[in-house]
Amino acid sequence: MKENNLPEDLFKDALSNLEVNPSQKSWADISDQLDTDADTKIQQKFEGFEAQPNPEIWEGIRTQLPYNLRIRRQLNWFAKIAAVLLVGMLFTMGSNMLKLNKQQNAAQIPSPTPTASESVETVIPILSMEDKSDFVFDVNKKKEVASILMDEEESINSLLDFILDDSDDIALAIDEEIIEESLLPADELAHGFALVSPEDDIEEIVEEEIDLTIKIPLVVVEESEIESLIDMYDANVSHSVTNTPLNK
Amino acid sequence: MMTSNLKVDVVIDDNVLAGCIEGNRAAQELLYNFFAPKMFGICLRYSYDYHSAEDLLQDGFVKVFHNLDRFRGDGSFEGWLKRIFINTAIEQYRKNQNKQVNPLNDEVYKSATSHDDVLDKLAVDDLLKVIQLLPQGYRTVFNLYVIEGYSHKEIATLLNISDGTSKSQLARAKDYIKNLLRKIK
C-alpha cells in the first residue's frame, strides 16, 4: 500500500469523514423556503384556472334573477318608508289608546271616603244661568222660578174668583156679543184671541205641589134663557157649516 | 378534464352591465357565459366535490345579479366578482363550521418530505383533487393564504378565528397535502 505523508493527505483524511450536526434553525429556514416554493408553484398552477360548468346551472340561476334592480331598489325604498310611516301611525294610535285608558281608569277610581275624624270642606259651585244645562239642576234658581209662578197663580186665582164670584152678575159681566164670539169655531176667532195650551212650566208647578182650586159656580138660568142660548148656538153652528167650503 | 378551451370573444362593457341591471336576460346570460368558467374554477377550489362547487357557483351568480348595481367601477369587475365568490365560499364555511369533523389523524402529518418534484409533475386537475380532499377548514385557509394571497390576520378576520388558528390550520393543510403527494410519488 502506498503511504500518504503529505500534509494535504493528512487534511483529507481528517476532514473527509467529518460530521457536524446543523442547528434546528437551518432546517426550519430550508423548510420554509421549500414551502414558499411549493406555495408559489401551486399558485402558479391555479392562475387562470377555468372549468366549464354544467349548462343546467344557468337555468337554475335564471329562475332567481331580478327583473330590474333599479325599480326593485326604488320599491324597496318605498316599502321602507311605508313601513316607517305605518310603525309611526301604530305608535301614535297605541299611545293615544294608552292615554285614553289611563283617563278612563282615573275616572273609575272612587275618591276615598273621608273618615269621621277628617273634616272635609266641599265647595259646590253655583252655576249661572248661562252655565245651566240639562244635566245641572240649579235648586236656587228653580225655587225662584217657582215663587214667580206661584205669584202668577195667585193672580190667576184672584181673576178666577173675580170672574166666577157669585156676587157678581154674570149676565152683566158677559154680554151677548162675548158669548156669541166665544161660541165661534177657533179658526174664525178675531185677532187678539188665541188658543192657549198649557206650558211646561205649568206642569212643573203641579210637580211643585201648588194647590190650584178651581171654583165652578152654579148659575141659575131660566128655561127660556136656556132655549134661547141653544137656539143661538145652533144658529151659529149652522152658519159656520154653510160658510165652510166643502173642499176645505 | 374541466378546463375550458372555449374562449368567448365578447367584451363585457358598461352597456352589458347596464343591461344586466335593467333585467335584460340576454345581457345577463352573456355575462354569465363570459365569467362562469373562471368563477367555477374558484368554486371548485373551495368545494369538496363537483356538485357542491355547482351550488356555490349558482349562489354566487345569483348574489352577483342581485347586487350588480352596487359595483362602482373602482377596481376591475373580475376582481369584484372574485371577491363575491370567495365571500360566498366563506359564508358556506361558516354555515358548516359547527358540522365540521376532522377526519385526519395527527400522526399522518409528521412524515413531511420534499414534494417539489411531485408538484412539477402534477396536473392542475390532480392538484385540485388533492385540495378537495382537505377538510373544509384547512381547504378554506389554504386557498385564502396560498392562492388568494391573504395574510393570516386577514384570514382571521374573514373566518372569525384567531391568527394562531389560521396558522395552525394552514400548517396542517400543508402537511396533509405533503402526505398525499408522498403517496402519489
Q: Is B43 exposed, middle or buried (0-12, 13-18, 19+ CB in 10 A)?
A: buried
Residue-wise burial string across A60-93, b where 16 or more C-beta atoms lie within 10 A, e elsewhere: bbeeebbeebeeeeeeeeeeeeeeeeeeeeeeee
Mark yes or no for CB contact A70/B57 under 8 Å.
no
Instruction: Determine, yes or no, domain membership for A151.
Output: yes
Residues A170 and A239 in one domain: yes
- Say yes or no: A233 and A150 in one domain: yes
Mean pLDDT throughout B7-30? 80
B180 lies in a domain? yes
Does a structural domain hold residue A248?
no
pLDDT digits (tens, 9 = 90+) for B54-82: 999 999 999 999 999 888 888 889 999 99
The residue range of the domain holding A101 is: 71-105
Please tell me which of the candidates A46, A52, A66 has its beta carbon nearest to residue B65.
Answer: A66
Residues A177 and A235 in one domain: yes
Query: What's the total number of domains in chain A?
Result: 2
Answer yes or no: do A87 and A160 share one domain. Answer: no
Any domain includes B101: no
Q: What is the pLDDT of residues A160-214, one digit of tens each?
A: 776 666 555 555 555 666 666 666 666 665 554 445 555 555 555 455 555 666 6
Partners of residue A57 in chain B, C-beta under 8 Å: 36, 54, 57-58
Query: Which residue of A39, A62, A68 is in closest CB contact with B22?
Result: A68
**In a domain? residue A33:** no
Domain that holds residue B89: 14-96
Report the interhelical angle of A139-164 vs A200-207 (nearest 10°).
100
Within this chain, do residues A210 and A166 fall inside the same structural domain, yes or no? Answer: yes
- CA A38 to chain CA centroid, nearest Å: 80
Q: Both B174 and B127 in a single domain? A: yes
pLDDT score recorded for residue A65: 85
Q: B81, B31, B34, B45: which is closest to B60 by C-alpha?
A: B81
pLDDT tens profile A77-120: 889 999 999 999 999 999 999 988 888 888 776 655 555 555 44
Q: Which of B96, B127, B156 finishes a domain? A: B96
Whether A147 is in a domain gets the answer yes
Query: Which residue has cell 393564504?
Result: B145
**How deeply is B134 buried, as exposed, middle or buried, from its count of CB atoms within 10 A (0-12, 13-18, 19+)?**
buried
Residue A26 pLDDT greater than 90, yes or no: no
Mean pLDDT (whole number) for A41-66: 87
Phi/psi for B40 (5° steps) reads: -70, -30
Q: Which of B34, B56, B64, B69 to substitute to test the interface with A, most A CBs within 10 Å? A: B69
Q: For the CA atoms of chain B, what is the radius of gyration?
A: 18
What's the CA gap between A100 and A94, in Å, rounded?
10
- Interface predicted TM-score of the whole assembly (ipTM), two decimals: 0.71
| Same domain assignment for residues A236 and A154 | yes
Contact, B128 vs B142, CB < 8 A?
no
Q: Is A62 in Cβ contact with B25 (below 8 Å)?
A: yes
B155 with B145: CB under 8 angstroms? yes
Task: Check residue B142 and give its pLDDT.
Answer: 93
Residue A114, CA distances (Å) to A108, A117, A130, B169, B181 in order: 18, 8, 33, 82, 98
pTM passes above 0.80? no
CA distance A93 to chain B (A): 37
Last residue of a domain, one of B75, B96, B117: B96
- CATH assignment of the domain containing B116: 1.10.10.10
Whether A196 and A147 share a structural domain? yes
Could you tell me if B84 and B125 lie in one domain? no
A154 and A97 in a single domain? The answer is no
Statement to judge: residues B87 and B112 lie in one domain: no
State whether A98 and A151 are in the same domain: no
Q: Are residues A150 and A238 in the same domain?
A: yes
Domain boundary among B47, B73, B96: B96
pLDDT band at B111 (very low <50, low <70, confident <90, very high): very low
Number of domains in chain B: 2
What average pLDDT does the segment B167-181 reach?
A: 88
Whether B65 and A61 lie within 8 Å, measured CB to CB: yes
List of residues 6+ apart from B111 with CB closer than 8 A:
B179, B182
What pLDDT score was predicted for residue A158?
77
Those residues whose C-beta lies under 8 Å from the C-beta of residue B126, and which sit 6 or more positions away, are B184
Give yes or no for residue A227 having a pLDDT over 60: yes
What is the distance in angstroms between the Cα of A30 and the nearest Cα belonging to chain B? 10
- Predicted local distance difference test score (pLDDT) of residue B169: 93
Domain limit, last residue, from A105, A121, A156: A105
Question: Whole-number mean pLDDT of chain A?
Answer: 70
The three three-digit cell numbers of residue A52, written as one number? 366549464
Domain membership of residue B2 (yes or no) is no
CA Rg, chain A, in Å?
62
Among candidate residues B85, B26, B96, B20, the one with its CA nearest the CA of residue B57:
B85
Q: Is B131 exposed, middle or buried (0-12, 13-18, 19+ CB in 10 A)?
A: buried
| Neighboring chain B residues of A66 at a CB cutoff of 8 Å | 23, 65-66
Name chain B contacts of A51, Cβ cutoff 8 Å: 1-4, 37, 40-41, 44
Asked, for residue A4, whether it belongs to a domain, the answer is no
* pLDDT of amino acid B5: 38
**Residue A179 in domain:** yes
Residue-level length of chain B: 185
